[in-house]
């Protein structure tokens, strides 16, 4: 498996520094948070996009995915959501990233079935755009659809290979699923896996990998036993928890922890 980290852990850091962190700490790739407060976002011009892609290529570091904030199940018109997804897909294409991340975002104003249908309709339409651009859309296990079973209710309706799943191990665990259950649900559609660690279900302040309660060893064992050979991406949510320890000082330890788990599961 390849290892990456998300720039959510180093908010606002210049791309040259992000690339250096990945290369110097032994990570194969980076998930780029796409937001106006970050150096990479959908407003970048073509020259800026080419420069970012060139920096990653020169360092031998891959752009794993573009983490966007489109919410495919939220109430409202389809048009603005599809425009947002297209912009993320074009950014990913220009940076050489194989994936974009979208959220479910279903609200209490609609029923579960309505949210599922809305998300599936939008993902189905967006998947056709994604196919033309050579990028895959991944629905993250998050908010209204935090479990593998919930994500599958949507993806099963879409039935398009360009629409897949991003497995956030914290959310599936908080939703009551064990890794084997989540993997069984998501396996046919799995793009990559976000790993992290937290103190408890009540305290989700990010911790160094292996220092919290999330079942990372079980997760790696499930993936290894299934012969899955994709990406593990450490999403350290420092952007939302300013009291968390700085990620750069934890990167080597995190990589080593994941490597130990992979060796033990081999």
CATH number reported for the structural domain that contains residue 44 in this entry: 3.20.20.150
User: Cα dist. 217→72, 123, 174, 193 in Å?
Assistant: 31, 32, 17, 14
In the chain the first and final C-alpha atoms are separated, in Å, by: 11
Instruction: From 173, 184, 111, select the one nearest 147 (Cα to Cα).
Output: 173
In angstroms, the CA 202 to CA 211 distance is 16
Whole-model pTM?
A: 0.97
266 pLDDT higher than 80: no
Q: Are 168 and 141 in contact (CB under 8 A)?
A: yes
Instruction: From 72, 128, 76, select the one nearest 102 (Cα to Cα).
Output: 72
Average pLDDT of the chain is 97
How many structural domains compose the chain?
1
Domain enclosing residue 146, as ranges? 2-265
Over residues 210-220, mean pLDDT:
97
Over residues 213-236, mean pLDDT:
97
pLDDT tens figures, 19-76: 999 999 999 999 999 999 999 999 999 999 999 999 999 999 999 999 999 999 999 9
pLDDT reported for residue 133: 98
Beta-carbon contacts of 45 under 8 Å, excluding residues fewer than 6 positions away, are none
Encoded tokens for 265: 């599961």
């Amino acid at each position: 498996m390849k290892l990456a980290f998300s720039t959510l852990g180093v908010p606002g850091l210049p791309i040259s520094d992000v690339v250096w962190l990945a290369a110097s700490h032994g990570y194969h790739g980076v998930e780029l948070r796409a937001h106006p407060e970050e150096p990479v976002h959908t407003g970048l011009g073509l020259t800026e996009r080419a420069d970012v892609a060139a920096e990653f290529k020169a360092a031998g570091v891959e752009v794993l995915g573009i983490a966007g904030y489109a919410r495919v199940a939220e109430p409202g018109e389809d048009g603005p959501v599809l425009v947002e997804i297209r912009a993320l897909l074009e950014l990913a294409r220009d940076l050489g990233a194989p994936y974009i991340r979208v959220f479910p975002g279903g609200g209490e104003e609609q029923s579960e079935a309505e949210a599922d249908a809305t998300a599936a309709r939008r993902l189905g339409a967006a998947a056709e755009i994604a196919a033309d651009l050579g990028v895959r859309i991944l629905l993250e296990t998050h908010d209204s659809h935090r479990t593998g079973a919930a994500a599958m209710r949507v993806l099963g309706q879409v039935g398009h290979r360009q629409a897949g799943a991003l497995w956030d191990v914290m959310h599936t665990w908080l939703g009551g699923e064990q890794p084997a259950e989540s993997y069984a649900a998501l396996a046919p559609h799995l793009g990559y896996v976000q790993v992290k660690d937290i103190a408890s279900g009540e305290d989700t302040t990010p911790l160094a990998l292996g220092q919290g309660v999330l079942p990372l060893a079980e997760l790696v064992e499930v993936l290894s036993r299934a012969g899955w050979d994709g990406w593990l991406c450490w999403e350290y949510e420092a952007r939302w928890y300013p009291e968390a320890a700085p990620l750069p000082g934890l990167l080597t330890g995190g990589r080593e922890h994941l490597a130990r788990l992979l060796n033990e599961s081999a």
